[in-house]
Amino acid sequence: MYEQIARNKRRTFVILTAFVGLIALVALALTVLLSAGWVGVVIAVVIAGGMAFFSYFQSDKIALAASRAKPADETEYKRYHNLVEGLCIAAGLPKPRLYVVDDPAPNAFATGRNPEHAAIAVTTGLLAKMNRVELEGVLAHELSHIKNYDILVTTIAVVAVGAIALIADIGLRFAFWGGMRDRRDSNNSPAGAIIAVLALALIVLAPFAAYLMQFSMSRNREYLADASGVQLTRYPPGLISALEKLRDDQAIVHYATKATAQMWIEQPLETSNDKGERRKFDNLFDTHPPLEDRIARLQEM
């Protein structure tokens, strides 16, 4: 387990570097379509660096705001605060900021850049539907994400994917509203046309590449957080029971998006058809491993 944690930390650096590189490439492709020259290259580098800096320091605030999370009053949510405080003492972690999302769907997520600047948010549905040991299991899972530094890469990914999608959308709008035509009029060389087409292709494919990077980073981290959470509580049935309730509950989180989906303890978006059945190949594009697999692994512990 400790080797896996160390491996995840190394992968975190690689993934974050890849996100910065992808943002720079998309920004550079946009400058090509705009015929901005070397000035555009400098702008692309500045955009990528600015996005990386902003993501590192502000991604948790963006994730909490996007989820409509509100600070959890210590008196109103006393059980929530007490459980987190006890788990933090056991884990040797500072107490994170606690938030509540007013949503009937049971779910939770952790965000932040490190244990000293972390936050946990739970839905009102989770607080209402989980008993004490189940809620403790969920909170231990989220604290494990904090302790393992998973929160850094997941929260930065939320901002990075959004930034890439925004830049790509600007590029596509520019291309389809005359930008490509204006560029052809000003540069009729075959090389210029090829570069423009490649830039447009990069802008189209970049959001998909960003989502695939999200998928690759999140699944193993969920298995590890499950195992670490159980190790923290010393009571596997608590988290197992919580995951079973999450599996049986079909409600979706109203304020969850594709960009923020990987942060939650389980897939917060609709993944079945009108009959409640899984669509074929849907699990290939889920940000989380199937709950049945996670439950089975915990039952073997």
Catalytic residues, by residue number, are 142
Residues 6 or more apart whose CB falls under 8 angstroms from that of 68 comprise 101, 102, 103, 255
Per the CB < 8 A criterion, the answer to whether 243 and 294 are in contact is: yes
CA distance 130 to 166: 38
CA distance 294 to 301: 11
CA distance 51 to 137: 35
- Give the number of other Cβ atoms within 10 Å of residue 172's Cβ: 16
- Give the number of other Cβ atoms within 10 Å of residue 149's Cβ: 19
Q: Where are the alpha helices (DSSP H) in 67-189?
A: 78-91, 124-129, 132-147, 150-174, 180-186
Coil/strand/helix, residue 114: strand
CA distance 261 to 200: 27
Residues 6 or more apart whose CB falls under 8 angstroms from that of 23 comprise 47, 48, 51, 52, 160, 163, 164, 167
